[in-house]
Chains A and B, each alone.
Chain A
Amino acid sequence: MTITTDPDVIRHLSEVSVSVQIETADMTLNIGPQHPSTHGVLRLVAKVDGERAYDVQPVIGYMHRGYEKLAEVRTYPQVTALVNRIDWVSGFANEVPFMVAAERLMEIEVPERAQYIRLILSEMARISSHFVFMASYPLELGAATPLFFALRERERVLDLMESVTGGRFHPNFNRIGGVKPAAGSGSTQRKVVQDLPKGFLAETRVAMDEVLGAADQLEDLVAGNEIILARTKDIGVLPPEVAAAYGVSGPNLRASGVRYDIRKTDDYLPYDEFDFTVPVGENGDCWDRWYVRLAEIRESAKIIQQAIDGIPSGPLQAKVPKVIKVPSGEAYVAAENPKGEMGYYLVSDGGQGPYRLKIRSASFSNISFLPWILEGALVPDIIAIMGSLDFVLGDVDR
């Protein structure tokens, strides 16, 4: 090879190098609706430059089942079976606010014992829902093993729920005026009135101790892992102002440092009789969202233990007419569900079914800021952020 000193040649060469431009085409990466990490059928249309996404648009509606419209042609008891399928990971918790809305319109006083049972089962639903998150989130970061530990504990809770309601996912246990008073055997002529199954309360107390132990174990397994910290700290930071602007609620909002919990502000269930704290995060990153949920598992277990101590005896249901008709009027009842604020805006015209039912589901608002937060994220971070929001597609699309 010879080295030239001719200035003309050098100038020519420099011009050549300037005029060469590499054409790079941007790639549109279609994540979903069939993808391992979109929790069902969420679809993201991501424009990526290499691995960095600069524009991500979620496409929803693949799971739309028309529950709001269906509710208009169902009677009130039938709607129960619909609403617990909205967020199927915590079916029981979905039923409660709808029942409370109808009861407020009918001005029914629900017996204390029924309220306590609702509260215990709602908190159990929260624990089981958060355990699903504890199982699926490390999986999305590439660690498969925590899944089995978390789901084993969740199974314990689901077994207890099943012993009361007969269903693991879709309990269908709430009735207007209380909870299902008759369970098990009994003919249509002579219903066997049953209370909580024998030994349920004692067993639940033991199970809650196990849940607290499992939470410690999960923290040991996951929180001490440097790679998990590297993958989640300062990733997907959601500032409180943005969270409030998009209507984010639940653990996602609290991870950003906003201490807002409907259990503390509303009285849809007697939460004011219990001593519990509302855990909040500091930075609003993926790690905080994980940690807040772990802390909520602990708080829920403590609430359940207090409720077992203080559960009053009495009937499970208030006196309600055989054919339930809700007086005309409007009511909005929101509940602090595992995923966030779950609200029902119920409009009644005095008939046997709702005239109009608007469902405010938590996951819909909780993913509404995806384009904002995913802008400029790397493909692995898209999965990490999406997973940390813990949404359920049935809750998004309804």
Chain B
Amino acid sequence: MEALLDNFWVVLLGKVLIVAALIPAAGLAVGFAELKLSAKMQNRMGPYFAGGRWGWAQLLADGIKFFQKEDLIPEDADEPVFKFAPALVLLGTVALFVVVPFGPGLIVQDLDIGIFYALAISSISTIGVLMAGWSSANKYSLIGGLRAAGQLIAYELPLVLATVGVVVMAGTMSLDGIVQAQAGWFSETGWTGGLPFVIPQLIGFVIFFIAALAELTRTPFDMPIAESELVMGYLTEYSGFRFLFFFLAEFANMFTLSAIAATLFLGGYWAPFIPDDVLQFAGPIILISKVAILVFIIIWFRWTFPRFREDQLQTLAWKFLIPLSLVNIIGTAILKVVI
């Protein structure tokens, strides 16, 4: 057993299997939450038939349906790009899972530059979206893809700048290290000085959350899809399991980006009054409940707000969020030196 766990390839296989199982599970859970919550907000029932109770199998049934559909590729489409784009979108999500710490030591791979890696890899999905928009040979798709690209450039900056404050406070870029830096408030040994970064970094958290919404292309920043304007944006020409890929990536991405936000600002897997040896097992539950809160807010936004216009979104990013996050960094840095 010991020898087996030391074998690099066996461990790698195990990690790959865990991530491959977690992605669809997270996607399905978030998707189902969206179905049920939107129904609640709109005086509807939501799914109730599939699976017998609460319609829990609705998304599984949808997935099976998508696999049965014909894999349509438009005649004028750039075929290799068109086929690869959904995979690339999902890839960004999968790669993001790698650095999320679910508990002490419960992390697929703890990187010293974890947060840097997470922000870099999450932009890959947008390249996939741009590829999808370009290769579909559809004008609506093209506009949707270009909007996504413009959105990426505008919102990647505040996303990165908002995390700088956290990195300055924690003194590390490792996600596990950031969690450790927040740990300690109200533990059994009393106050040890830690605080979830959402309290000192409230501005940073709000900026991060808004930018993450834009990164996820969720309402009120869902212009790349904008079904009332662009039919379905870059998804217009996709069908069958390639559409499913986008679908799954969207929901799984909501989970992972919320997990990153929870790790950075809400204390990650750490919670007060829980001894360290219990944390080993309770960590994932604590993190997932924090993620659930953030996912709920994202879904709540979606069914409450209309969408911005593209130029209003750019104005918000360049004229408001970026200057504000720069001010936040300066303030954090000064306080760090003073205290």
Contacts and interface: CB of A to CB of B under 8 A. Distances in A.
Interface residues of A, number: 30
Interface in B296-313: 303-312
Contact of A227 (B42, B226, B308): B308
Nearest to A381: B309
B43 A152 contact: yes
B42 A380 contact: no
Leading 4 A-B pairs by shortest Cβ distance:
A142-B307, A143-B306, A141-B306, A148-B42
Contacts of B220: 142, 227
B310 A378 contact: yes
Interface in A241-294: none
Given A143-B304, A380-B223, A380-B226, A29 B139 contact: yes
A373 interface: no
B10 interface: no
A134 B132 CA distance: 34
Interface range, B side:
20 to 34
Given A51-B143, A149-B43, A230-B312, A144 B231 contact: no
Interface in B225-262: 226-231
B69 interface: no
Contact of B311 (A27, A35, A142, A378): A378
Contacts of A35: 231
B222 interface: yes
B305 A379 contact: no
Nearest to B221: A142
A142 B43 contact: no
B147 to A, nearest CB: 8
Contacts of A51: 143, 310
Contacts of B135: none
22 contacts: A27-B139, A36-B228, A37-B228, A37-B229, A141-B306, A142-B228, A142-B306, A143-B304, A145-B41, A145-B42, A148-B44, A149-B42, A152-B43, A225-B306, A227-B306, A230-B308, A378-B310, A379-B143, A380-B226, A380-B229, A381-B309, A383-B228
A171 interface: no
B174 interface: no
B332 interface: no
Given A148-B44, A380-B223, A140 B228 contact: yes
A36 B305 contact: no
Given A144-B303, A380-B307, 4 more contacts: A142-B305, A231-B309, A378-B309, A378-B311
B328 interface: no
Interface in A45-59: 51
A142 B219 CA distance: 8
A207 interface: no
Nearest to A228: B306
A95 B160 CA distance: 62
Nearest to B312: A230
Given A35-B231, A37-B228, A140-B228, A145 B303 contact: yes
Interface in A101-151: 138-145, 147-149
B303 to A, nearest CB: 5
A200 B219 CA distance: 43
Contacts of B226: 142, 380
Contact of A141 (B38, B41, B231, B307): B307
Interface in B305-325: 305-312
Nearest to A380: B309
A29 B230 CA distance: 10
A178 B231 CA distance: 46
Contact of B222 (A142, A145, A225): A142
Interface in A20-58: 27, 29-30, 35-37, 51
Contacts of B303: 144-145
A243 to B, nearest CB: 24
Residue among B304, B306, B308 with max Cβ neighbours from chain A (10 Å): B306
A25 to B, nearest CB: 12
Nearest to B230: A379
B300 to A, nearest CB: 10
B305 A380 contact: no
Nearest to A235: B309
Contacts of A139: 228
A171 B43 CA distance: 28
Interface in A210-257: 225, 227-228, 230-231
Nearest to A27: B139
A138 B226 CA distance: 13
Interface string A82-107: 00000000000000000000000000
A357 B209 CA distance: 60
B227 A36 contact: yes
A227 B228 contact: no
A382 B307 CA distance: 14
A143 B143 contact: no
Nearest to A222: B306
Contacts of A36: 227-228, 231
B305 A225 contact: yes
A180 B307 CA distance: 47
A211 B42 CA distance: 18
Nearest to B140: A29
Name which of A27, A145, A230, A381 has the most chain B CB atoms within 10 A of its CB.
A145
B74 to A, nearest CB: 16
Contacts of B42: 144-145, 147-149
Interface string A187-207: 000000000000000000000
A225 B43 CA distance: 20
Contacts of B223: 380
B210 to A, nearest CB: 13
Nearest to A140: B228
Nearest to B223: A380
A383 B229 contact: yes
Nearest to B219: A142
Interface string A366-386: 000000000000111111000
Contacts of B38: 144
Given A36-B227, A379-B143, A143 B305 contact: yes
A231 B308 CA distance: 7
Nearest to B142: A27
Contacts of A145: 41-42, 303-304
Contacts of B229: 37, 379-380, 382-383
A379 B142 CA distance: 13
B7 to A, nearest CB: 48
Nearest to B225: A142
